[in-house]
Amino acid sequence: MNDRIEVALGDITKLAVDAIVNAASPSLLGGGGVDGAIHRAAGPCLIEECRGLGGCPPGEARITGGYGLPAKFVIHTVGPIWHGGRHGEDELLAKAYRSSLLLAEENGIKTIAFPAISAGAYGFPMERASKIAVGEIRSFLEKNATIEKVFLVCFSEEARGCYREALEGAI
């Protein structure tokens, strides 16, 4: 199973995969972090398409074109804001991964790259987030044969270490 999951360090907007996932805000109208980077790289057509979607509640996902990105699609999902861990944050983060993977499956996507959803401005602890990400992705791939490769994209060495540990723990 772990041969279908790969940890990659760097900028998700550079990846030539079928879909990159965006850690979006509920308005889908742009923000900072990975969302800002994706919109800058995709160009203004992306925000135009997002305007027509009417937002996205936390835990759900929406798909758009990739426009100026090397990726064909962007899957926008909204993770939970961290409020200490006793407000359903784990379940909502897991749901954001599941919703994104389900949309990918429905759209025949074979290669997909995730940033560390909620682990930036939304404050979710990276180690806990990486375990949830790996757990959800593994259990989805066990039941799905169409997705060939999932990249876990990290923006720091710390994040890479967390993902590696989570993957080793999941063997």
- Amino acid residing at 3: D
Stretch that binds ligand ADP, among 48-56, 99-107, 152-160, 162-170 (CB under 6 A): 152-160
Backbone angles phi, psi at 99, to 5 degrees: -60, -40
3 among known catalytic residues: no
The answer to whether residue 7 forms part of the interface with ligand ADP (CB under 6 A) is: no
Within 110-139, the residues that bind ligand ADP by CB under 6 A are 115-122
In the complex, the smallest distance separating the C-beta of residue 5 from ligand ADP, rounded to whole angstroms, is: 16
Of the pair 91, 142, the CB lying nearest ligand ADP is at 91
Whole-number Å distance between alpha carbons of 165 and 167: 5
- Number of Cβ within 10 Å of residue 43's Cβ equals 13
Local structure of 73: helix, strand or coil: strand
Whole-number Å distance between alpha carbons of 136 and 41: 28
**Comparing C-alpha atoms, which of 117, 116, 47 is closest to residue 78?**
117
Of the pair 46, 119, the CB lying nearest ligand ADP is at 119
What tokens appear for 10 in the block? Answer: 């760097």
Q: Which of 79, 104, 111, 151 binds ligand ADP (CB under 6 A)?
A: 79
In the complex, the smallest distance separating the C-beta of residue 126 from ligand ADP, rounded to whole angstroms, is: 7
Residues with catalytic roles: 35
Residues engaged in binding ligand ADP (CB under 6 A):
11-13, 23, 33-35, 37, 79, 115-122, 153, 155, 159
